[in-house]
Amino acid sequence: MLIRLEGRTALVLGGTRGLGWSCAKALDESGARVIINGRDAAHGQCVAASLSRGIFVPGDIGDETERHVLMQAVDAIGAPDIIVTNAGGPPAAPFEETDAAQWRRAHEVNLLGPLEVVRHWLPRMRAQRYGRIVNITSFVVKELYPNMALSNSVRVGLTGAMGSLAREVARSGITVNGLLPGLMDTGALQRVIRDRAQRQGISEDEVRAQMADSIPVGRLGTAADFGPLCAFLASEHAAYITGQNICIDGGL
């Protein structure tokens, strides 16, 4: 099966590193023009240049002003047909150690930011009767994890909102799906590994080995395990798949 996305424009939030970058590469390889977003301008410009049709637009989706600047900049390039929402997970910590400022930041970055960005381009998607929205969340949506109250809460919140949207726009040719990474060997997981090692008084290598052993396939996931499914969901082949949350977790 050949995935062809020529003539489509994709916006990948948080697309300069990790799983977002994996999606950006897969979309680019399938022929889409890819706009990637991130906060590190130097890094973003560099990785965008490695794509066939890559464009970098800076901005922090957790900041209301920067969100609107980002959306205006993307409109000047060309409105996206495909939107991949992605943002680094909130820091791991027990519920009792999580303060109000952290809750507000997590809400802005991982819930309100993606919702505003998607809502901005929904009228155009409806008008053209085509749109693909793919949300990178986490396996915690289906299996809550200890010491991750922030991530558990905002990921479930985004999933609920996007699940409602999927049913509302299905007859407009728009699909909305979630990709739920498990224990993927990315920078985000490294932060969790570091936190667990400190709390348990063991080495990071020991934590990493424990995590790999907990997964039926016996290893951590990689970015290469992730991107191709994103490209598939963005394609015409997935026109009858919507409102789904698909785990990429090695059977975890």
DSSP assignment string, 27-51: HHHTT-EEEEEES-HHHHHHHHHTS
pLDDT of residue 223: 86
Which two structure tokens, joined as six digits, stand for 208? 């990493």
Per-residue pLDDT of the chain in tens (252 residues, 90 and over written 9):
889 999 999 999 999 999 999 999 999 999 999 999 999 999 999 999 999 999 999 999 999 999 999 999 999 999 999 999 999 878 778 888 999 999 999 999 999 999 999 999 999 999 999 999 999 999 888 888 788 888 889 999 999 999 999 999 999 999 999 999 999 988 778 887 888 888 889 998 999 999 999 999 999 999 889 999 999 999 999 999 999 999 999 998
Which two structure tokens, joined as six digits, stand for 195? 């936190």
Rounded CA-CA distance 99/108 in Å is 15
- Local structure of 247: helix, strand or coil: strand
211, 216, 219, 222 alpha-carbon torsion, rounded to 10°: -100
Give the bridge partners for 245, in sequence order.
178
| Cβ atoms < 10 Å from Cβ of 51 | 21
Rounded CA-CA distance 216/223 in Å is 18
| Cβ atoms < 10 Å from Cβ of 112 | 20
pTM of the full structure? 0.93
Cα dist. 30→1, 84, 232 in Å? 12, 15, 9
Give the bridge partners for 247, in sequence order.
180
